[in-house]
A = this chain, B = another copy of it.
């Protein structure tokens, strides 16, 4: 049986291009004692992968060259010599950019497809959802009536942040690129406002969207977007620093308004959700209930077939996706 795999062929120079990846085909090895064979159904494409492609010092080791690209997946168990799993089980794991994986099952989480669509386990009921939940509830700690701003608001994380904030009684303001995304954010996703950072009137629009100032920022972008928030922070505001996509291709992303951090006695905390596994069960339980009850809605952008992954990934880094970027393999 053939297994298509996508490897990191070389480290990007600035913007990622398709030639940074290489598709190979290998034989699927047989599952040994205690192992299982899974077939990937859904592959998650996420901004953190861009960081791994570089060889820079970071919180995680770089993606090794000539190895299968890292990635979260939902897979179906095809064959099992492991008593914890049986064929037909669905498992969330990190199979990466490939069609099949033989694994001992470590780190796999069985999921139920009856109440929640499988792909949601890579979105609002998966890592992006827990990221939103952690940054908002553990760092942002919003109180009823406060104002929250989240950047990349139409994305997999940002869309959950704003909806959770609404459920907590906050004013939720999104920042997103373009009218289509902003319409989604204030329409289907139910935010109170959304500001288009690509619009010429961004500064004025932003100011109008936060008439009582900002108490909590969930930051995915950095650079000028973060500075816009800093200029309108209230005293004792909290900033959960989740990502800096504005700098993913090496652009400088200074924080110009450092004075606001002092003058407003702000708390800023960078975080990586994978370091807080003890809270995942609670977060996933809450998120699963919200999604099943449609209190949290989500959008997906779906690319078809493993071969489409590089282009879809590049598109996501350029902001072309709406909501969660996925690759559907089967």
Contact = CB atoms under 8 A, between A and B. Distances in A.
Nearest to A261: B270
A262 B235 contact: no
Q: Specify which of A58, A262, A266, A275 lies most central, judged by the most chain B CB atoms within 10 Å of its CB.
A: A262
Contact of A264 (B222, B243, B261, B270): B270
A244 interface: yes
Contact of A254 (B254, B266, B267): B254
Contacts of A243: 262
Nearest to A243: B262
Interface string A251-264: 01111101101111
B275 A265 contact: yes
Interface in A32-67: 57-59
Interface in A139-161: none
Contacts of A264: 59, 270
Contacts of A261: 241, 268, 270
A330 interface: no
Contact of A268 (B57, B226, B268): B268
22 contacts: A58-B263, A59-B235, A59-B263, A222-B258, A241-B262, A244-B258, A244-B262, A247-B259, A253-B258, A254-B255, A254-B258, A255-B255, A255-B258, A261-B268, A261-B270, A264-B270, A265-B271, A265-B272, A265-B275, A266-B268, A266-B269, A267-B270
Interface of A: 57-59, 222, 226, 235, 241-244, 247, 252-256, 258-259, 261-272, 275
Given A222-B258, A244-B262, 7 more contacts: A58-B263, A59-B263, A247-B258, A253-B259, A254-B255, A254-B256, A265-B270
